[in-house]
Amino acid sequence: MHHLNKLDTKMALLEVKDLKVRVEEREILHGLTLTVNEGEIHAIMGPNGSGKSTLSHVIAGKPGYEVTDGQILFKGEDLLEMEPNERAAKGVFLAFQYPVEIPGVATMNFLRTALNAQRKARGEDEYSTPDFLKKVREVSKSLNIPQDMLKRGVNVGFSGGEKKRNEVLQMALFEPSLCILDEMDSGLDIDALRIAADGVNALRSPKRSMVVITHYQRLLNYIVPDVVHVMSKGRVVKSGGKELALELEASGYAQFEDAA
């Protein structure tokens, strides 16, 4: 029985403890606590201004946020002590709500540089060019990404759907253990959303956790979460199973705004 018990006890991958964050003197997160275990998919829902994107930015290490209290542990290590690139090498991946366009940096060059930088930071061998090309080809084929897209500048001239697919491509390539999807559905029509969600679902694995941040329940029809959290005014105000998302869809966020 001891053996079975051990299987049931999931490892905490991400632990956010009583996190307080300020932006320019204004507190956005007022003591947020959240634990994501290995292999779980968590959805974070909430109205605009509830602090969802702030949480994703602070986990990824975006400058401009001041953590005044609390901590974030990733695989037991203090994430806040690390540079954004160190977090990436440890396995944190933020899929941006608005992926930036980088003119003059070819997508292929970017992907290879990033992947090898992460491998180097972990003390792994860097990919040779042929091995890398093979890997990109495999991954992009499985995501229906045309090779032509990879020759262009990073996200330059990409549609909203192409930009999100490029994020999923990177997720597949870098093989992170934690994926944070920040408003992945914003700016996507239903077809583009389905393609991106299919890509994400293909990456579900017992070794990979995901935090899906969204305003709408719609995305969660495609990426079905294990746990749903409701954020309001900088705190998690309610957590539950996937049915909580449906409940929210029916009744809206107003009840929680009062609760917070």
Partner 1 sequence: MNVAVAKTGKGRAVSDLFTSAEGRLPGSPAVTAVRREAFETYERLGLPHRRLEEWKYTDLRALVGEVLPLAASPDAATLKRAADAVKVHAIDGARKLVLVDGVFAADLSDVKALVAEAGFKTLRETLDKDAGLLKTASIDAMIALNAAMATDGVVLSIADGAKLSAPIQIIHIATAASASAFTRSQVAVGKGARATIVETFVAAGAKAYQVNDAVLVSVGDDSDVAHIRLMDDAPDAVNVTSQFVTIGANVKFNFFNMTTGAAVSRLQGFIALAGEGSELSANGVNLLKKTEHGDTTLVVDHAVPNCVSREIFRAVVDDRGHSVFQGRIIVRPDAQKTDGKMMTRALLLSDEAEADNKPELEIFADDVSCGHGATAGALDDSLLFYLKARGLPEKQAQALLIQAFVGEAIEQIADDGLREHVIGVAERWLERRQ
Q: Which stretch binds partner 1 (CB under 8 A): 37-45, 100-108, 127-135, 226-234?
A: 100-108
Q: Is 114 in the site for partner 1 (CB under 8 A)?
A: yes
Q: Find the shortest distance in angstroms from Cβ 101 to partner 1.
A: 9
Alpha carbon distance 76, 63 (integer Å): 23
Using DSSP's 3-state secondary structure scheme, residue 8 falls into helix
CB of 98 to partner 1, least distance (A): 9
Question: Locate tokens 């990073």: which residue?
Answer: 154
Cβ distance to partner 1 smaller for residue 96 or 253: 96
Which residue among 17, 20, 30, 62 contacts partner 1 (CB under 8 A)?
Answer: 62
> What values do phi and psi take at 213, rounded to 5?
-100, 125
Q: Which of residues 116-145 bind partner 1 (CB under 8 A)?
A: 117-118, 121
Q: Which is nearer to partner 1, 33 or 109 (CB)?
A: 109
Question: What tokens were used for 64?
Answer: 């401009």
Does 82 bind partner 1 (CB under 8 A)? Our answer is no
110 near partner 1, rule: CB under 8 A: yes
For residue 99, the minimal CB distance to partner 1 (Å) is: 7
Number of neighbours of residue 259 by Cβ within 10 angstroms: 12
Q: What share of the chain is helix, strand, coil (3-state, %, to 5)?
A: 40, 30, 30
- Report if residue 56 touches partner 1, rule: CB under 8 A: no
51: left (phi over 0), alpha (psi -120 to 50) or beta: left
